[in-house]
Structure 1
């Protein structure tokens, strides 16, 4: 039982990493209707901003808050001067642009800060406490709670606030939103800015666990995209639950399914994804899209 609980706890902690990136992807999609493949790179760049502010002598919490502000502005500027040229056009073109943006950000980060592993301090202590025979670190628990709080906050934002409803309206139909008097351009900038700010939080949570490098989130981004598809693009709660499910099942399969082990556990989320898409293409928590013709 102790081993099982340990695997579940570790899986939830790992899944929280995937969930943080997945939430930022959902935020961009809910506010602009696009999929941002550069989200992982933007989160890494935000972590480097925080690392630089730490080097200037700021306390950790202020450095992270500073990176959140800088990232919000950067995300808004990227939407205004780059992505807006492709919004409303061919979705495939916008996807290619975000992939190119990811490559550019990774290269710029490596050029400025080098490709060496850098140590980033954690917001939470590395000590552990015991729960039913399992060792739970305060860092894992803190990451889990922060992601859970952000998940609930985003759900409330999109469902209960005027700004969230306006962001969803703009993503669904920009022309009708403009005719209704909504400031479409400003809302698109806010959506990208909020996603970049969320990426800054994700980068600060992940960097102490993985060590800070330009490609730090390349692997987690793949799992995050799987969580987005599995949970549904329209549900912040869904993608986080899916990310936790991926982390836990991956750990359990590696230990309790002999032919999988550590070498093949990477295939577990994608097998799960294949099965779910056959049964429920919109994802576990996503909404069906009805198109009138």
Structure 2
């Protein structure tokens, strides 16, 4: 039982890493209707900015806030001067552009700060506590609670605020939104800015657990996309629950399903995706889209 609890706790900790990046992907999709593959690279860039500010002598929390502000501005500028050229065209072209942007950002990070592992300071203490016989780090508990808080904020943003409703309207039908008097261009910039700011928070939460490198988000991005498919693009709560589910099932399968083991546990989320896409294509918590002709 002790081993089982430890595996579940570790799975929730890993799932929280996937969840924070998945939330940023959902946010930009709900605000612009796009899937942003560059989200992981933007989180890495903001983490490096935070790290350099801390190295310069600023307190960690101040460095994170400045990185969040800078990320919001950079995200808005990227939408205005780069992505806007592709938003009205073929969606596949826009996806390819975000993949290219991911490669560019990680390459720039490696060029500026090398590919060596860097130690990123943690917001939370590093000691562990015992919960039902399992050793749990305070950092994992803090990350878990931070993910819950971010999830609730994002959910409230889209369901309970005028800004969130306007962002959703622009993402669904920008032409009708413009006819209704909504500032479509500024809302698209705000959506990308908010997603980039959330990516900055993701980088600050994840970097202490993974060590800071230009490619630290590559694997997490794959799992985050799996969580988005499983949970549904329209549900912040759904993608977080899906990310935790992936983390837990991956750990349990590695130990208790012998033909999978640790070598094949990466296949677990893809098996889940295959099953969910057959049974419920909109995701476990997503809404079915009805198109009237």
Scaled by the length of structure 2, the TM-score of the pair is: 0.99
Flag as ranges the 4+ runs of structure 1 deviating above 4 A: none
Aligned equivalent of 1:134: 134
Q: Within 5 Å, which residues of 2 pair with 1:1-293? A: 1-293=1-293
- Looking at structure 2, the residues matched to 136 and 288 of structure 1 have their Cα atoms a distance apart, in angstroms, of 38
Structure 1 unmatched ranges of 5 or more = none
- Looking at structure 2, the residues matched to 11 and 55 of structure 1 have their Cα atoms a distance apart, in angstroms, of 32
1:76-112 deviations in Å (ceiling 9; x for gaps): 0000000001112100000000000001101111111
The Cα of 1:17 is off from its aligned counterpart by 0.3
The Cα of 1:135 is off from its aligned counterpart by 0.6
1:112-141 deviations in Å (ceiling 9; x for gaps): 111111110100011011011001110000
- Looking at structure 1, the residues matched to 274 and 126 of structure 2 have their Cα atoms a distance apart, in angstroms, of 36
- Looking at structure 1, the residues matched to 248 and 123 of structure 2 have their Cα atoms a distance apart, in angstroms, of 24
1:246-282 deviations in Å (ceiling 9; x for gaps): 0000000011111111001000111011001100000
- Looking at structure 2, the residues matched to 42 and 59 of structure 1 have their Cα atoms a distance apart, in angstroms, of 22
Kindly report the root-mean-square deviation, in angstroms, between the aligned alpha carbons of the 2 structures.
0.5
- Looking at structure 1, the residues matched to 243 and 192 of structure 2 have their Cα atoms a distance apart, in angstroms, of 22
- Looking at structure 2, the residues matched to 257 and 102 of structure 1 have their Cα atoms a distance apart, in angstroms, of 35
Structure 2 unmatched ranges of 5 or more = none
- Looking at structure 2, the residues matched to 9 and 187 of structure 1 have their Cα atoms a distance apart, in angstroms, of 39
- Looking at structure 1, the residues matched to 18 and 242 of structure 2 have their Cα atoms a distance apart, in angstroms, of 9
- Looking at structure 2, the residues matched to 7 and 110 of structure 1 have their Cα atoms a distance apart, in angstroms, of 34
The Cα of 1:52 is off from its aligned counterpart by 1.1
Count how many residue pairs are aligned between Structure 1 and Structure 2.
Answer: 293
